[in-house]
Structure 1
């Protein structure tokens, strides 16, 4: 279980490798955020995932235990991941992208399709600018007071869906992200134990980037790559409908819906989550879309 720091594009990145990455096809886990970290995933899901073979964990620049340097852009984050692959001398990898990490993993796949064996997208719909954000309605659905619901509606009306995150309280966020209260508490405990925070710098910087000239889903759909889309039935962040539609768009996609989970099925249904990944990794490359619950 080698843990180290690796300098990628002049920034020191925290990296942990479990198992021999030269044996089999390693899974590289790409955390969400933007600006999040992987501490809780390592401890709650990692032990089961590592039974499938070698796993590479890393934290993006400005995130978790990696250093900050104030430079944030999707192409740069993609190249950081490519430099990590080269540093570890991995010919091909399986990418597991979580939430925003799914967008980043898809961007990497489009940029380096010959380096990706399979792509796993958890709780991400690769939503384009024309796709309505579910944040306002999702938060309003789990709010428990008229005052909170009113604040949510006002934030959306005055500043757009992203502003909701500035007005909702912690219990509302937990009900939004998790279906099971015990899961929310366990993750909160690990966040506090880690001492790590999301500064918000990366999210603010990426929000200013111009739209892609070609939607990411269109470029991904043009590739011959197997994709597994994982989504919790109660996920109000990415949205089941959007993830279903994503799987429909991609020619070699499988959709797996977890009926007792929200945004983090890896936490709420870890055994089923890892079993879905194991089945996907051993599935025949031929065939089209597959939808399972």
Structure 2
């Protein structure tokens, strides 16, 4: 870690944002097809999308750590708008004229906001495991209930999480990682492999930026957080602004998938696919299905697992 807070040990490049913050970004993949920029989940986390990037069929893939966590500079401001501007900085840094976006979980939100803001730059949007455009209060109680139910399906996990939670800032770095692994394990449907999958997500471990998570989380709880998103999605009906969207929902994601229904209705050019037996990270539990659906989008035949 250098004096600016940027991790210099990871392979990649430094992207300078419009307000001088340094972001980590890396290019992988081949040279065939439209470049894809991937936006990871969080907030307060780092890029964990190396696996889905590798499933793209030869496309150049660009991954980056949002400001605050991971290998990027630990510097705000932290808000729902900043990742949109920072995504534009990544595009400009690599000199990409037109891109496909793949946003996962929280990262689906800035990707969705970027598309109507820069429609000429976006060839398509893969909206993976997002939570839609309605107020978070409409779906979060159902998510919380499902989280605790799945966490309690294996003995001792709920109790250990609560113990670590109560330690708060007193957790060691190792305990903080353990706490995250317990949290993330519920995002997988296979009980026998869930914690191994979550361990892979936590490797390498950069530490959660709780200040970033809290700042953006508080903003997302406000009723105004999604204000204008519905209108901006509807604006994509104008032919010159039209951006095709693929919505990917894991059938067993603990975030209720009906939360995305209003987004689907608001978009003019949308395909929705629901992989059976997959949770919040569908590429992990159905890699071939994910490759077929996302790799063929946009354009060409859009393969589906069992579309609605």
TM-score range, shorter chain: 0.7 to 0.9
Find the residue that maps to 2:81 and give its secondary structure.
helix
TM-score normalised by structure 1 residue count: 0.80
Does the alignment pair 1:216 with 2:229?
yes
Decide which structure has greater strand share: 1
Match of 2:26 in 1: 16
**Could you tell me how far 1:4 is from its partner in structure 2?**
1.5
TM-score normalised by structure 2 residue count: 0.76
Match of 1:157 in 2: none
* Deviation sequence 1:66-120 (CA, Å, 0-9, x none): 1111311222221111122112111111000000000010111122122111011
Match among 260, 283, 297 for residue 266 of structure 1:
283
**Could you tell me how far 1:46 is from its partner in structure 2?**
2.8
Distance 1:183 1:93, change over 3 A: farther
Distance 2:108 2:295 in 1: 18
Match of 1:166 in 2: none
Match among 254, 270, 273 for residue 253 of structure 1:
270
Match of 1:229 in 2: 247
Structure 2 gaps of 5+ residues are: 1-10, 163-178, 237-241
Query: Is contact 1:95–1:116 with CA below 8 Å preserved after alignment?
Result: yes
* Deviation sequence 1:258-284 (CA, Å, 0-9, x none): 101111101111111111012222337
Distance 1:242 1:189, change over 3 A: same
Does the alignment pair 1:278 with 2:295?
yes
**Could you tell me how far 1:216 is from its partner in structure 2?**
1.4
Does the alignment pair 1:48 with 2:65?
no
Match among 135, 140, 147 for residue 139 of structure 1:
147
Q: What RMSD in Å do the two structures reach over aligned CA positions?
A: 3.2
Match of 1:31 in 2: 40
Match of 1:292 in 2: 307
Distance 1:253 1:127 in 2: 15
**Could you tell me how far 1:126 is from its partner in structure 2?**
2.2
Does the alignment pair 1:3 with 2:12?
yes
Structure 1 gaps of 5+ residues are: 153-168
Instruction: Report how many aligned residue pairs link the two structures.
Output: 269
Query: Is contact 1:254–1:291 with CA below 8 Å preserved after alignment?
Result: no
Match of 2:257 in 1: 240
Query: Is contact 1:138–1:176 with CA below 8 Å preserved after alignment?
Result: no
**Could you tell me how far 1:12 is from its partner in structure 2?**
1.3
Query: Is contact 2:250–2:278 with CA below 8 Å preserved after alignment?
Result: yes
Distance 1:189 1:176, change over 3 A: closer
Match of 2:200 in 1: 190
Distance 1:230 1:72, change over 3 A: same
Distance 1:172 1:111, change over 3 A: same
Distance 1:233 1:89, change over 3 A: same
